[in-house]
Amino acid sequence: MKIHLKIWRQQDAKTKGKLVDYMLDQVDHHMSFLEMMDTLNEQLIVKGEMPVEFDHDCREGICGTCGMMINGQAHGPVPGLTACQLHMREFEDGATIYVEPFRAKAFPVKRDLKVDRSSFDRIIQAGGFITASTGQPAEANTLLITHESAESAFDSAACIGCGACVATCKNSSAALFTSAKISHLAKLPQGEKEAAKRVLKMVSRMDEEGFGHCSNTEACEVECPQGISVLNIARMNWEYTKANLLKD
Amino acid sequence: MELDAKIPAGPLENKWSHYKAQAKLVNPANRKKLPVIVVGTGLAGASAAASLAEQGYPVTSFCFQDSARRAHSVAAQGGVNAAKNYQNDGDSVYRMFYDTLKGGDFRAREANVYRLAECSLNLIDQAVAQGVPFAREYGGYLSNRSFGGVQVSRTFYARGQTGQQLLLGAYQALMRQVSLGKVILYSRHEMLDLVVVEGKAKGIISRNLDTGVIERFAAEAVVVATGGFGKIYYLSTLAMGCNGSAIWRAHKRGALMACPSWTQIHPTSLPQSGDYQSKLTLMSESLRNDGRIWVPKLANEERAANDIPEQERDYYLERRYPSFGNLAPRDISSRAAKERIDAGFGVGAQKNAVYLDFSKAIKEQGKDKIKEKYGNLFSMYKKITADDAYIAPMKISPAAHFSMGGLWVDYELMTTIPGLFAIGEANFADHGANRLGANSLLQACVDGYFILPYTLANYLSGELKKDKITVEHPEFERVEKEVVTQLNELCQIKGTKTADYFHKKLGKLLYDKCGLSRSKTGLTEAIAGIKTLRAEFYKELIVPGSAAEINGELEKAGRIADYLEIAELMCHDALSREESCGAHFREEYQTADGEALRDDKNYCYVSAWEWAGIDAAPVLHPEPLEFEFIKLSVRSYS
């Protein structure tokens, strides 16, 4: 396959970036998208140019490291996939592909397609945990959790923290990410105790980090590689209102 | 050097409680005077850092990833073992101990393995309290499944994402400590060397991967929890960034490496499809609960799987190992697959795979039930291959997966450098020559949550009254200079071949000669080949840009420089062990049926290796394995 790439190149957060054209003419359609990027980088390095920096690690869709806008869509055109699981068979021979970083005020560009997502860690630090120090817990089967509750908590907990939801949202909102953690923990009896405190702190940290308000377009769910549901956002809003109403 | 494993005396079941009762403690008020460095934020590193911080030690934690949550523990799929005996099927701590020891082909310490099984009970309690959404029965009790090499159901799981969920539990515990100011976390920082002062580990040198800045960090103890180095084979189930650099650099500063060649080659990964390929995706072993493995009885079979009638299929695991069948342990299953593939019965475009077939399970249990158990694995399979495993069997193949070998540690998880601890996959300890499925998450967690917090205190109590070493110490300056020199050297070679070029060549060489099977001739050739490749690397490597900026190629080059040395030690290790055990299969030592032939008379020891310099042969220090409580037997699964 022949592929025409238009890739965002940017030296660092302060420098202005631009789209640069690259041509690849021996792309195998079995290649993953990132393997195609590896091939490009090999060619650039040997020519003495700087390779395109992009984030990636596990290359099996679970670590949440990779993330880029491919033809304007987070992780590319196929629903339910991360960029590392996308394969070149999804593109036509001769296609032009635009590759850009996840863009959001709270995700400053480090270089090229690499962005700083440490704001997500800080949202979790604000309260995305259960206070259970090592050694304290009681025997696991003393706490019964129905099959349905465990499965539903898992559905929320499956978020990989890639940031596709933020990059997709026209307000750059982190509502889906934040709400997934709030819901995961609130749905379980272990997490209920701190639910009110958690939601207030996490939502307030989300705002402080510069993420926008939920735009209610539900685009985040569509682009989420893990299929995290927007019902989590509804849950977060409910938990938030409840916590505020019952406060003191 | 005499190796002392420091195994506590007394009956097996009392050793750990006896140790805990006797270990020295540090008064809560004094803990804040004893800073600890933890490198790595996977299950071992995150659980250790969080648990130590909860106790009051100031912890500095490092990971090369952009977030602690992305460490490769996240990718473990199938589950975590614990001897809870919730299924009333005859499980016990002793049974789990025995299964693990036997699974490792009797090449691990009894006391360590028993402790692993004993601490497994608490781990499930801990994880549930953190909110890990394990699978549940309808009434609300925890559910279990079965894994290879055992005859009970002791594996706890969260769909096919158990590693992710356990890691998020540990990560969230770590984030809680960060928010309390008890842990300072440096993400995008890579440990590039260990600083040893007066024989004790006192700090590290790191590189900030976003700025290139080299920094010094001092502490009273250093814990490496940097995982395994299976990525040395290039094609593996590991993440692209997984590496052996932290443990290797510690090795070069004096920590012995144990059994580095013992690599688990996982039987159920997706096969390689082309030269451009960067990784092999794992399909969880849990699939073997319901999937049946087979190849056609006819060599070079051209028909599609579903067109091959039942009587023309060879279910070779069921045939060779009837009592364990498709759940035979990993080393045995991988070797059996290789045997069939090499004999010309492989399937797929490259004839490098075997079938994993769910048709019987779907017929018996229904598609919905199979979907509930393995839905995410089936959809992952479809995403990568574009094939539907509900309709036709999966094609799977062996791939490098887990390092049983690593830094030698004693019962306290301390290396041969006082103050340097190694936990999780980074050490050699509990799995012997082959790890059982669902024991790696367990070991990482148990080391970090339940063992290290006791053994580290025992060491630190002795450091309280000593003079504090700061980063101004000349040794920090000396080591930092060495690090900077190496980085600049790599940038200045200015050859024509990329780091990946060397990595791919090394990986192929190692997989062929020091992979699923090894021989004296092959290993001798490999050592010569590695030396040649290493010389070429330092002449022909190209790293664009400089060390003072974001530079992914420089990161790779540093890791490959280390792999080129680790690989040689692996071959020496495999060469010196003239027996077959677990994952270490020497072609010269096998039974008439092609099974591993162990030599307990001459090789019942752990091979611990000392670095003697780049041009010298490594020095072997055997640690004899003494079996007081069990009798060594032939490891049979037939």
CB A238 within 8 A of CB A184: no
Contact with chain B for residue A43, Cβ under 8 A: no
CA distance linking residue B187 with residue A65, whole number of Å: 13
* Structural domain includes residue B559: yes
Would you call A25 exposed, middle or buried from its count of C-beta atoms within 10 A (0-12, 13-18, 19+)? exposed
Out of B125, B239, B500, name the one closest to residue A138 (CB): B125
Residues A106 and A163 in one domain: no
Interface test with B, best of A58, A90, A113 (most B CBs within 10 A): A58
Q: Which residues does chain B have within 8 Å of residue A136's beta carbon, measured at their own beta carbons?
A: 129
Band of residue B384 on the pLDDT scale cut at 50, 70, 90: confident
DSSP character string of A90-103: GS-TT-EEEEE---
Tell me how close the Cα of A89 comes to any Cα of chain B, in angstroms. Answer: 9
Residues A98 and A131 in one domain: no
- pLDDT of amino acid B377: 87
Out of A59, A65, A188, name the one closest to residue B65 (CB): A65
Q: Pick the closest to residue B575 from B348, B224, B259, B131 (CA basis).
A: B259
Does B129 contact A121 at a Cβ distance shorter than 8 Å? no
CB B328 within 8 A of CB B433: no
Residues A75 and A153 in one domain: no
Residues 102-131 of B with CB under 8 A from A: 122, 124-131
State how far the alpha carbon of B619 is from the alpha carbons of A216, B572, B607, B616, in Å: 65, 10, 10, 9
CA distance linking residue A81 with residue A218, whole number of Å: 17
Residues A130 and A54 in one domain: no
Band of residue B32 on the pLDDT scale cut at 50, 70, 90: very high
The CATH number for A143's domain is 1.10.1060.10
CB atoms within 10 A of CB A214: 21
Residues B492 and B614 in one domain: yes
Residues B489 and B382 in one domain: no
Would you say residue B230 has pLDDT above 90?
Answer: yes
Contact with chain B for residue A65, Cβ under 8 A: yes
pLDDT tens column, A61-73:
999 999 999 999 9
pLDDT tens column, A211-228:
999 999 999 999 999 999
Residue B484: phi and psi, rounded to 5, are -65, -40
Residues A74 and A143 in one domain: no
C-alpha angle A10-A13-A14 in degrees, rounded to nearest 5: 95
CB atoms within 10 A of CB A26: 9
* Structural domain includes residue B504: yes
Residue A198: phi and psi, rounded to 5, are -60, -50
Of A50, A80, A111, which one is at a domain's C-terminal end?
A: A111
Q: Using alpha carbons only, how large is chain A's radius of gyration in Å?
A: 20
pLDDT tens column, B591-617:
998 889 999 999 999 999 999 999 999
Residue B208: phi and psi, rounded to 5, are -75, 115
Q: Which helix (H) or strand (E) holds A32?
A: none
CA distance linking residue A7 with residue A20, whole number of Å: 5
- pLDDT of amino acid B256: 98
Residues A126 and A177 in one domain: yes
Contact with chain B for residue A53, Cβ under 8 A: yes
Which residues face A96 on adjacent strands? A4
Does A185 contact B66 at a Cβ distance shorter than 8 Å? no
In the 8-state DSSP scheme, what is residue B238? S
Pick from B30-34, B51-55, B279-283: least confident: B279-283
pLDDT tens column, B109-141:
999 999 999 999 999 999 999 999 999 999 999
- β-pairing verdict for B257-258 and B427-428: unpaired
Residue B368: phi and psi, rounded to 5, are -60, -40
- pLDDT of amino acid A163: 98
Residues B392 and B514 in one domain: no
Q: Which residue has the tokens 């965002």?
A: A8
Distance of CA B63 to the CA centre of its chain: 17
- pLDDT of amino acid B374: 87
- pLDDT of amino acid B86: 97
- pLDDT of amino acid A146: 96
Contact with chain A for residue B392, Cβ under 8 A: no
* Structural domain includes residue B255: no
The CATH number for B599's domain is 1.20.58.100
As given in the structure block, the two tokens for residue B174 are: 């770590």
As given in the structure block, the two tokens for residue A50 are: 């700087």
Q: Which residues does chain B have within 8 Å of residue A191's beta carbon, measured at their own beta carbons?
A: 131
Tell me how close the Cα of A129 comes to any Cα of chain B, in angstroms. Answer: 5
CA distance linking residue B55 with residue B460, whole number of Å: 13
The number of distinct structural domains making up chain A is 2
Q: Pick the closest to residue B51 from B562, B457, B334 (CA basis).
A: B457
CB B426 within 8 A of CB B414: no
- β-pairing verdict for A109-111 and A114-115: antiparallel
* Structural domain includes residue B601: yes
Q: Which residues does chain B have within 8 Å of residue A225's beta carbon, measured at their own beta carbons?
A: none
Residue B558: phi and psi, rounded to 5, are -60, -40
CA dihedral B303, B307, B313, B316 (to 10 degrees): 70
- pLDDT of amino acid B376: 81
Which residues constitute the domain of residue A141?
Answer: 117-246
Instruction: Please report the sign of the dihedral spanned by the C-alpha atoms of residue B580, residue B586, residue B589, residue B595.
Output: positive
Between helix B43-55 and helix B452-460 the angle, nearest 10°, is 50
Residues A221 and A144 in one domain: yes
CA distance linking residue A223 with residue A202, whole number of Å: 23
- pLDDT of amino acid B418: 98
Out of A59, A144, A157, name the one closest to residue B240 (CB): A59
pLDDT tens column, B91-103:
999 999 999 999 9
Residue B136: phi and psi, rounded to 5, are -130, 150
In the 8-state DSSP scheme, what is residue B548? T
Of A56, A81, A111, which one is at a domain's C-terminal end?
A: A111
Residues B487 and B620 in one domain: yes
Contact with chain B for residue A13, Cβ under 8 A: no
Does B131 contact A190 at a Cβ distance shorter than 8 Å? yes
Region label for B406, one of left (φ > 0), alpha (ψ between -120 and 50) or beta (otherwise) = left
Would you say residue B638 has pLDDT above 80?
Answer: no
Q: Which residue has the tokens 């072609």?
A: B587
- pLDDT of amino acid B94: 98
Residues B381 and B509 in one domain: no
Which residues face B414 on adjacent strands? B421
Quick one: average pLDDT of B527-553? 98
The CATH number for A37's domain is 3.10.20.30
Distance of CA B218 to the CA centre of its chain: 27
Quick one: average pLDDT of A12-20? 96
Residues B484 and B391 in one domain: no
Q: Which helix (H) or strand (E) holds A12?
A: none
Q: Pick the closest to residue A169 from A129, A213, A126, A114 (CA basis).
A: A213
- pLDDT of amino acid B160: 85
Q: Pick the closest to residue B233 from B629, B567, B1 (CA basis).
A: B567
How much of chain A is in helix, strand and coil states, percent to nearest 5? 40, 15, 50
> What positions of B carry a catalytic annotation?
330
The number of distinct structural domains making up chain B is 2
Band of residue B148 on the pLDDT scale cut at 50, 70, 90: confident
CB A121 within 8 A of CB B175: yes
Which residues constitute the domain of residue B577?
Answer: 475-624
Residues A84 and A134 in one domain: no
Residues A146 and A105 in one domain: no
pLDDT tens column, B268-307:
999 998 889 999 999 888 899 999 999 999 998 999 999 9
Residues A99 and A202 in one domain: no
CA distance linking residue A58 with residue B231, whole number of Å: 11
* Structural domain includes residue B259: no
Of B365, B399, B433, which one is at a domain's C-terminal end?
A: B399
Of A111, A139, A166, which one is at a domain's C-terminal end?
A: A111
- pLDDT of amino acid A138: 94
Residue type, B440: S
Tell me how close the Cα of B593 comes to any Cα of chain A, in angstroms. Answer: 37
| Choice between A50 and B275, residue whose per-residue pLDDT is larger | A50
CB B513 within 8 A of CB B570: no
- pLDDT of amino acid A176: 98
Region label for B181, one of left (φ > 0), alpha (ψ between -120 and 50) or beta (otherwise) = left
Q: Helix H segments across B399-493?
A: 440-445, 452-460, 474-492
CB B474 within 8 A of CB B528: no
Of B344, B378, B399, which one is at a domain's C-terminal end?
A: B399
| Choice between B78 and B577, residue whose per-residue pLDDT is larger | B577
Does B545 contact A157 at a Cβ distance shorter than 8 Å? no
- pLDDT of amino acid B429: 85
Would you say residue B447 has pLDDT above 90?
Answer: yes
The CATH number for B273's domain is 3.90.700.10
Band of residue B239 on the pLDDT scale cut at 50, 70, 90: very high
Contact with chain B for residue A132, Cβ under 8 A: yes
Residues 135-154 of A with CB under 8 A from B: 135-141, 143-147, 149-151, 153-154
Residues A88 and A148 in one domain: no
* pLDDT, chain B, mean: 96
Does B131 contact A55 at a Cβ distance shorter than 8 Å? no
Contact with chain A for residue B386, Cβ under 8 A: yes
Residue B103's Cβ-side half-sphere holds a number of Cα atoms within 13 Å equal to 29
Residue B60: phi and psi, rounded to 5, are -115, 125
Beta strands in B159-314 (DSSP E): 183-186, 189-197, 200-208, 214-218, 221-224, 257-258, 263-269, 292-296, 313-314
In the 8-state DSSP scheme, what is residue B586? B
Residues 175-214 of A with CB under 8 A from B: 184-185, 188, 190-191
pLDDT tens column, A147-165:
999 999 999 999 999 999 9
Would you say residue A248 has pLDDT above 80?
Answer: no
Would you call B600 exposed, middle or buried from its count of C-beta atoms within 10 A (0-12, 13-18, 19+)? middle
CA distance linking residue B88 with residue B514, whole number of Å: 42
CB B607 within 8 A of CB B590: no
Q: Using alpha carbons only, how large is chain B's radius of gyration in Å?
A: 24
In the 8-state DSSP scheme, what is residue A137? P
- pLDDT of amino acid B78: 83
Q: Pick the closest to residue B46 from B172, B156, B132 (CA basis).
A: B172
Percentage of residues of chain B with pLDDT beyond 70: 100
Would you say residue B630 has pLDDT above 90?
Answer: yes
Tell me how close the Cα of B293 comes to any Cα of chain A, in angstroms. Answer: 23
Band of residue B567 on the pLDDT scale cut at 50, 70, 90: very high
CB B166 within 8 A of CB B74: no
Q: Which residue has the tokens 């099977």?
A: B517
* Structural domain includes residue B116: no
As given in the structure block, the two tokens for residue B339 are: 């045997």
CA distance linking residue A37 with residue A7, whole number of Å: 10
Contact with chain A for residue B368, Cβ under 8 A: no
Of B384, B399, B414, which one is at a domain's C-terminal end?
A: B399
CA distance linking residue A112 with residue A123, whole number of Å: 25
Q: Which residues does chain B have within 8 Å of residue A46's beta carbon, measured at their own beta carbons?
A: 496-498, 542
Residues 288-307 of B with CB under 8 A from A: none
* Structural domain includes residue B610: yes
Contact with chain A for residue B88, Cβ under 8 A: no
As given in the structure block, the two tokens for residue B319 are: 């045939």
Interface test with A, best of B81, B88, B177, B179 (most A CBs within 10 A): B179
Chain B residue closest in CA terms to A127 = B176
